[in-house]
C-alpha cells in the first residue's frame, strides 16, 4: 500500500482502534473505585484535621477534593456518552422510538398551563409569560441605584472566630447538638409548659 492512500489510512485507523480500546479500559474501567477510594482518603484526612490541623493536611485535603471532582466529571461524561450512544442506537434501529423521545423532550420544556397566585388558570403563552415576569419581579424586587453592603472595616473591629472555631463550625452536626438546640428553644419550652398544665 502506498503511503497517504485511503486504504493505508484505513489500516492505520483499524490498528489504532484496539490501542484506544485498551487505553480506555486501563484508564477508565475503575472510575467508581477511584472516586470511592478518594472519598475514603478524604474522610481520613478530615478526621486527622479535626484532631490536629496542619498546612500539609489542608493541602492534601484540597488535592483529594480536586481529584474527586476530576474523576466525578470523567464518570459523568462517560455515563452521558454511553446513554447517548444507546439512545442513538435505539433511534437508528427504530425511528418511531427516536421521534417519540424527541417530542417528549420538547414537550417537557413547554409550559402549557399555569395557575396564578390569584388562583386563575392561564393557558395562553402571553398570559403565562406575563404572570411569570410579574412573579419574579415581585420576588426579586425593583431596580435600585445602590446596594447596601457590609462595611469590612467595621466588621474586622468586632469579635471574630478563631481558626479552630471555624473548623468546628464546618464539622458534622450530631444528633446531640440538634436535640440540645431543639430543647433549648423558647418555643419548645413554652410548648412543654403548656402540655404539662
pLDDT cut 70: percent of the chain above it: 82
CB of 123 closer than 8 Å to CB of 113: yes
Length of the chain counted residue by residue:
197
Any domain includes 58: yes
Q: Which residue has the cell 422510538?
A: 97
DSSP letter at 158 equals S
Q: Which residue has the cell 472566630?
A: 161
Q: Do 123 and 89 share a domain, yes or no?
A: no
Any domain includes 85: yes
Q: Do 76 and 135 share a domain, yes or no?
A: no
CB burial of residue 48 (10 Å; 0-12, 13-18, 19+): middle
pLDDT category of residue 147 using cuts at 50, 70 and 90: low
Task: Convert 85-99 to b/e letters by CB count within 10 Å (16 or more is b).
Answer: eeeeeebeeeeeebe
Q: Do 28 and 90 share a domain, yes or no?
A: yes
Q: Do 129 and 91 share a domain, yes or no?
A: no
Q: Do 15 and 74 share a domain, yes or no?
A: yes
Number of domains in the chain: 2
Q: Do 48 and 121 share a domain, yes or no?
A: no
Q: Measuring CA to CA, how many Å separate 20 from each of 15, 23, 85?
A: 9, 5, 18
Any domain includes 76: yes
What mean pLDDT is predicted for residues 102-129? 83
Q: What is the pTM of this model?
A: 0.37
Helix (H) or strand (E) run with residue 99 in it: helix 95-109
Q: Do 13 and 73 share a domain, yes or no?
A: yes
Domain that holds residue 118: 111-141
Q: Which of 20-34, 65-79, 81-95, 117-131 has the lowest mean pLDDT?
A: 81-95
Q: Measuring CA to CA, how many Å separate 35 from each of 60, 98, 188, 189?
A: 15, 34, 43, 46
Domain boundary among 36, 71, 97: 97
Tell me the pLDDT tens digit for each residue of 5-60.
888 888 888 888 888 888 877 777 778 888 888 889 988 988 888 888 888 888 89
Any domain includes 87: yes
pLDDT category of residue 93 using cuts at 50, 70 and 90: low
Amino acid at each position: 500500500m502506498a503511503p497517504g492512500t485511503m486504504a493505508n489510512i484505513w489500516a492505520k485507523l483499524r490498528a489504532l482502534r484496539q490501542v484506544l480500546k485498551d487505553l480506555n479500559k486501563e484508564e477508565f474501567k475503575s472510575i467508581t473505585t477511584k472516586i470511592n477510594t478518594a472519598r475514603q482518603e478524604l474522610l481520613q484526612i478530615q478526621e486527622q484535621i479535626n484532631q490536629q490541623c496542619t498546612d500539609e493536611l489542608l493541602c492534601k485535603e484540597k488535592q483529594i477534593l480536586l481529584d474527586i471532582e476530576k474523576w466525578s466529571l470523567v464518570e459523568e461524561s462517560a455515563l452521558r456518552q454511553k446513554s447517548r450512544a444507546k439512545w442513538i442506537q435505539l433511534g437508528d434501529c427504530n425511528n418511531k422510538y427516536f421521534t417519540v423521545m424527541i417530542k417528549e423532550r420538547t414537550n417537557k420544556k413547554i409550559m402549557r398551563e399555569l395557575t396564578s397566585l390569584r388562583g386563575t388558570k392561564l393557558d395562553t403563552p402571553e398570559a403565562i409569560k406575563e404572570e411569570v415576569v410579574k412573579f419574579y419581579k415581585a420576588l426579586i424586587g425593583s431596580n435600585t441605584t445602590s446596594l447596601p453592603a457590609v462595611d469590612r472595616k467595621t466588621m474586622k473591629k468586632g469579635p471574630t472566630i478563631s481558626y479552630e472555631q471555624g473548623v468546628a463550625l464546618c464539622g458534622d452536626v450530631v444528633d446531640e447538638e440538634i436535640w440540645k438546640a431543639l430543647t433549648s428553644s423558647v418555643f419548645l419550652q413554652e410548648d412543654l409548659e403548656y402540655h404539662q398544665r
